[in-house]
């Protein structure tokens, strides 16, 4: 679903939300699809939960994924910096 004013309309658990804030409607649709997927997954695990509880569960799931991803990125950054330092040292020995 697209919005003629540059946003997008996304459907989350059967409710359509008009979104703005990105010049790329496709990006907004992807965000909506991700939230919808996570809320549906939460609904499968907690079928009697209301929408606000499902939204909190989905948000916690996404926050967990974000924190884990940031940790992995930081570990990769540290490993890369260590490897660059090792290679720099070897290069200095050769020169």
Closest-CA residue to 44 (of 29, 61, 30): 61
pLDDT single digits (tens) 13-31? 999 999 998 889 999 999 9
Q: How much is the pLDDT for 3?
A: 45
Positions in the chain whose pLDDT score sits under 50: 2-4
For residues 71 and 49, is the Cβ–Cβ distance under 8 A? no
Dihedral over alpha carbons 64, 58, 42, 34 (to 10 degrees): -100
Looking at residue 22, its pLDDT comes to 82
Domain boundaries, the chain: 8-94
End-to-end Cα spacing for the chain: 61
């Amino acid at each position: 679903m697209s919005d003629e004013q540059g946003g997008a309309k996304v459907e989350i658990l059967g409710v359509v939300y008009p979104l703005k804030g990105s010049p790329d409607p496709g990006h907004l649709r992807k965000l909506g699809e991700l939230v919808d997927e996570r809320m549906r997954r939460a609904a499968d695990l907690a079928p009697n939960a209301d929408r606000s509880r499902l939204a909190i569960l989905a948000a916690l799931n996404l926050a967990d994924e974000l924190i884990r991803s940031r940790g992995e990125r930081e570990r990769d950054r540290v490993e890369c910096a260590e490897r660059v330092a090792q290679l720099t040292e070897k290069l200095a020995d050769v020169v």
